[in-house]
Amino acid sequence: MTRASGCRVWDEDGREYVDYVMALGAVALGYGHPAVNRAAEAAIAAGVVGPLPPVSEEQLAEALAERIPWMERIRFLKTGAEAVAAAVRLARVATGRDLVLGCGYHGWLDWCQGAMEGVPAGVRALFAELPFNDVAAARAMIRERAGRLAAVVVEPVVVTEPTREWLQLLRTETERAGAILIFDEIKTAFRLAIGGAVERYNVRPVPDLVVVGKALGNGFPLAAVGGRAELMEAASRTWISSTLATEGVSLAAARATLEVFEREAVCAHLHRAGTTLLHGLHELQRSYGGVISGVAGIAEMCFLHYSTEEQAHAVALAAAKRGVLFKRTAYNFVSLAHDERTISETLDVLDQVLRNVGG
């Protein structure tokens, strides 16, 4: 690609595409949103980065804490992977324990990669996967490790919505075990709601720590870990650092992004637009059951299951040739720039593609 604007991108040959990848969900307002660009340009003119924390860091932290009050204290980083790793570090410092249970994708760093080649066996032994939405398994796994468990880290949405019973079980059992409950809201914050799944599903009591990222900066690289003040104080007893964590451009972009979300009720738009897309995908499944084996995800982030990998590749390639970038796996994302007409045209393209692939 050579350019991006709204929900569209252009390649080096000048071809235009409607995009549902949206930088893997990092862009919820649309590419190059004017208000975000203006804030970023002002921060560039002010010097980008310097020897001391910028005022904008404190301003953004205060704005986030006001809007997401369970983030009482906040530490900024550049990527979601390092922000979740920082949350796990804080949990280990606070508990004096090593073991971690995780559910979902928390980045590529060693601590959560299980049997990945290149990860030392000793590191792998400190982490285990917790099944999503499985109350009995979660209870058993947490209780089995109770005296050694530092943290339970979960993505609150993994393809489907969580059950209230599962969310409550995680809170109850981590408290019983003396472990820290961390919500990885990198994909869900600023999409399901500004405050993510905690706000959407009214999770109470709230998690001990929350990690946000992706759409926080509408494409500018920024993530944050936040939570109870006394727990965040553990940062002073260890070392969590990132050279460019407080560069001013991303901080300014995130502050502007938050203002747009509140002013324009962005999450409500994402839900409406995503619901239109999701309903359309279900219609396509009914028409092309030989190619589409299922529709997965929720309105704000959804995708198709295909009968074969060959069909998945064929549909993605044919859609791209017709000017639609639509992922064949989790997830496709709508943005503020996706309107009803654009989604309708996208569904027409997918219909044409599936008719050819299925035929």
User: What's the CATH code, domain 34-263?
Assistant: 3.40.640.10
Backbone angles phi, psi at 100, to 5 degrees: -135, 135
Domain boundaries 3-32+265-358, CATH class: alpha beta
Can you name the residues that pair with 115 across neighbouring β-strands? Answer: none
Domain range summary for the chain, segments of one domain joined by +: 3-32+265-358, 34-263
Q: What is the spatial distance between Cα 249 and Cα 36, in angstroms, rounded to a whole number? A: 10
Say which residues have a Cβ less than 8 Å from residue 121's Cβ, sequence separation at least 6: none
CA 208 to chain centre: 18
Q: What pLDDT does residue 249 have?
A: 98
Q: What is the pLDDT of residues 215-272, one digit of tens each?
A: 999 999 999 999 999 999 999 999 999 899 889 999 999 999 999 999 999 999 999 9
Q: What is the spatial distance between Cα 70 and Cα 45, in angstroms, rounded to a whole number? A: 33
Single-letter amino acid, residue 8:
R
Fold match between domain 3-32+265-358 and domain 34-263? no
Residue ranges with strand state E in 104-207:
127-129, 149-154, 180-184
Residue whose entry in the numeric block shows the structure tokens 């058993």: 140
Q: What pLDDT does residue 359 have?
A: 62
Q: What pLDDT does residue 245 have?
A: 87
Strand 8-10, strand 16-19: pairing: antiparallel
Q: Comparing C-alpha atoms, which of 260, 262, 253 is closest to residue 60?
A: 253
Sign of CA dihedral 71, 212, 246, 47: negative
Q: What pLDDT does residue 230 have?
A: 96
Q: What pLDDT does residue 5 have?
A: 98
How would you write the pLDDT of the chain (359 residues) with one tens digit per residue? 999 999 999 999 999 999 999 999 999 999 999 999 999 999 999 999 999 999 999 999 999 999 999 999 999 999 999 999 999 999 999 999 999 999 999 999 999 998 889 999 999 999 999 999 999 999 999 999 999 999 999 999 999 999 999 999 999 999 999 999 999 999 999 999 999 999 999 999 999 999 999 999 999 999 999 999 999 999 999 999 989 988 999 999 999 999 999 999 999 999 999 999 999 999 999 999 999 999 999 999 999 999 999 999 999 999 999 999 999 999 999 999 999 999 999 999 999 999 999 86
Q: What pLDDT does residue 246 have?
A: 87
Q: What is the spatial distance between Cα 290 and Cα 65, in angstroms, rounded to a whole number? A: 49
Q: What is the pLDDT of residues 99-136, one digit of tens each?
A: 999 999 999 999 999 888 999 999 999 999 999 999 99
Q: What is the spatial distance between Cα 149 and Cα 190, in angstroms, rounded to a whole number? A: 30
Backbone angles phi, psi at 90, to 5 degrees: -60, -40
